[in-house]
Structure formats: structure tokens, C-alpha cells
Amino acid sequence: MGCLGTLGGAATWTGAAVVDAVTVEGAHHVTAAAVAAASGLVGAPAFRASALDARERVRALPAVRDARVAIALPGAARIELVERQAIGRWAAAGTEWFVDDDGVLFASADPTGAPELRVMDDRRARTAGDRLDPALVSTTLRLAAIPAGELRADMTRPSVRIDPGSAGIVLRSGGRLEIRFGGPERFDEKLAIVRAYFKNNPDRPLDYVDVARPEFIVVRPE
């Protein structure tokens, strides 16, 4: 009878135990509070809480690449994050996101947590978690990294935009000139053509140079 009483008491105690302490490590773009809330562990019955389910919920946060979750009885949990590494900034419809090399857009608790390489996407609004073509991201951020005046002296305030029409990737000079690259394919070849053209025409007044088809460069005015 004494043993049964002890077991019955233990069953009552274990049924009442809940996870009341969640430790988060590796949080930078997301807050520890947001991760704990997303995990669904806070207040969950400790003996029925699933570390696997909590991991999947945390990984659904756009800024999180991966996570490791451990539950320690009677009522604690630890979450270790691997966050996405921002390689630039992606602006669309008035909202600026961070973007990683997989093309995933995410918000950050740290406004300084990404390089000052910016692309303006004029095609449509974006939301956190959207996944862009990694080749497009890589190409446009390479353009954004080209310093003012490197391609031509009159390119004093270069900016990179994605046009919703046929122009595609566009490098604007800050003045009248723009360079139209089309898509990210054959980008190195296109950029080499632009460099060679500007080397031979350093001061020619131009509205645009179009190298979307590298074998058929178009300039205006001709």
C-alpha cells in the first residue's frame, strides 16, 4: 500500500510538471523571447513536450536556418540556434529585408546586422520567408558592391534595381545612364562587355547600355 501511494503521488506530480524555463542560445536576428514563444514549450506539460515538434516550429522562423532543442526534466528546455547569415538587403514595396545566400528574406532585431549592399525589387511586395533565386541575389549584390566611379566616372551614385519588365537587372548611375543586364545568366560575360565598352567610350553621353543579350549590345542614343 505504501508503494502504491508513492507511485500515485509521483503520477500526480509528473502530470502537473510543465516547462517553465526555456534557454535560448545563438539568437541575434531573432529575440530569445520570440524563439521561446515559437517553440510552444513554455507552459507545455514537461513529460509530453516534444523536442522534435519544437525544433520544427522554431525552424519555421524565417531568420532561423536550423535549431537544436533539448528538454530537461522536470521543467526546463534549451534551444540552440543556427541563424541565417545576411549577405545584403532586399527592398520591395517600401519594406527592406535581409537576404541570405539561399535567397531567403527575413527581418532582424539588429538593423546593422547586414552589409550595406542594397537591391530595390520593383516587381512586387515581399514577405519574410520568401525565397528568391540565389543566382539573382548573388548577381545583384555583386553589382551593388561595385564602387561609385569604377565603371565610369559619371556613375556617382550607383544603385541596383530589378525592373518588372524586360530590362531585368538594372544598374543606375545616379544620373541619366543605366545599364540593363536582363537576367543573371552569363553575368560575368555581360559585365566584361560593359567594362570594355566604357573603357572605349568613357565620356560618350548615354541613356542606357543593354547587354541582356551579350552577343547583341544595344546603346541609346546610338
User: Assign residue 60 a region: left if phi > 0, alpha if psi is -120 to 50, beta otherwise?
Assistant: alpha
Q: Find, among 121, 113, 68, the residue nearest to 94 by Cα.
A: 121
pLDDT, tens digit (0-9, with 9 covering 90-100), for 29-68: 999 999 999 999 999 998 899 999 999 999 999 999 999 9
- Give me the pLDDT at residue 7, please: 27
Q: Is the dihedral of CA 14, 15, 21, 26 positive or negative?
A: positive
Mean pLDDT taken over the chain:
92
Provide mean pLDDT across the span 123-146: 98
- Give me the pLDDT at residue 6, please: 28
Distance spanning both ends of the chain, measured CA to CA: 101
Kind plus residue range of the DSSP H or E element containing 8: helix 2-16
pLDDT, tens digit (0-9, with 9 covering 90-100), for 145-176: 999 999 999 999 999 999 998 899 999 999 99
Q: Is the pLDDT of residue 109 over 80?
A: yes
Q: Is the dihedral of CA 164, 170, 173, 175 positive or negative?
A: negative
pLDDT band for position 15 (cuts 50, 70, 90): low
The residues, ordered by sequence, that sit 6+ positions from 219 with a Cβ below 8 Å of its Cβ are 197, 206, 208, 209, 210
